[in-house]
Amino acid sequence: MFERFTQDARAVVVQAQQQARRLGHGYIGCEHLLLAVVSADTSAGAAPRGVGLTPVTVEQALLGLVGTPDGALDRAALASIGIDLDLVQKKVEEVFGSDALARRPRRRRWRGRRSCPPEAGHLRFTPGAERCLEGSLREALARGDRHIGVEHISLALAAMPDGVIPQLLTAVMVSATQVRSVVQEGYRRAG
């Protein structure tokens, strides 16, 4: 299937992996594909941005829904409730040693998903992301295209009936119908 992907669509898949690593997630999910699509410097990436799906809004909604692994702490959020993270770190190091916070358990689990350290090795696609990529092939075939482009990935993401994508779209107050509409309009104009 990947041999049918255009150069831009392949770049989106690579970008999704980079986004997952950057966010500390040990998997590539639909949410990372969406973040990569709206970050893409293509007309197909610009279409969803037209209805409010910007890299910033998608990432904020994504972090709100999925979070970060290991309960990564937000310094500003903690400060707003009176917790000084530097002071906490200093006290922990005084009691447990200077490398106490640097130690990591050998195996981590995060929200029920197996996770490998994001900086190491290959990241797996979630079953939802695999369905999305298969859906992009169906979108291309339905339009009579011999290639799979960023627009097909966008349409497949908008067609996801469950999982993180519908929740994410709701969080940014954009409907799947709006996304499909702007992507299809851009597709018609380009074709």
DSSP classification of residue 42: S
Q: Are residues 126 and 45 in the same domain?
A: yes
Domain holding 42, by residue range, is 2-66+111-190
- The per-residue pLDDT for 75 is 59
110 in helix, strand or coil? strand
Q: Are residues 41 and 135 in the same domain?
A: yes
Q: Are residues 24 and 55 in the same domain?
A: yes
Write the CB contacts of 52 (distance below 8 Å, at least 6 apart in sequence).
172, 173, 174
- Greater pLDDT, 45 or 145: 145
3-state class percentages of the chain: helix first, strand second, coil last, to nearest 5: 60, 5, 35
37 close to 17: Cβ distance less than 8 angstroms: no
Q: Are residues 117 and 172 in the same domain?
A: yes
CA–CA dist 95, 124 (Å, integer): 38
What mean pLDDT, rounded, does the chain reach?
82
Q: Are residues 42 and 131 in the same domain?
A: yes
CA–CA dist 40, 34 (Å, integer): 10
Is residue 97 predicted with pLDDT exceeding 50?
A: yes
| Residue 164 belongs to domain with CATH number | 1.10.1780.10
Q: Are residues 59 and 147 in the same domain?
A: yes
Q: Are residues 128 and 186 in the same domain?
A: yes
- The per-residue pLDDT for 100 is 60
Q: Are residues 59 and 82 in the same domain?
A: no
pTM confidence score? 0.74
Domain assignment present for 58: yes
Poorest-confidence range of 11-20, 29-38, 101-110? 101-110
Domain assignment present for 105: no
- The per-residue pLDDT for 95 is 72
In degrees and rounded to multiples of 5, residue 82 shows phi and psi of 90, 15
Q: Which residue has the tokens 């696609």?
A: 125
In degrees and rounded to multiples of 5, residue 66 shows phi and psi of -100, -35
Domain assignment present for 106: no
Is residue 115 predicted with pLDDT exceeding 80?
A: no
Q: How many CB atoms lie within 10 A of CB 14?
A: 11
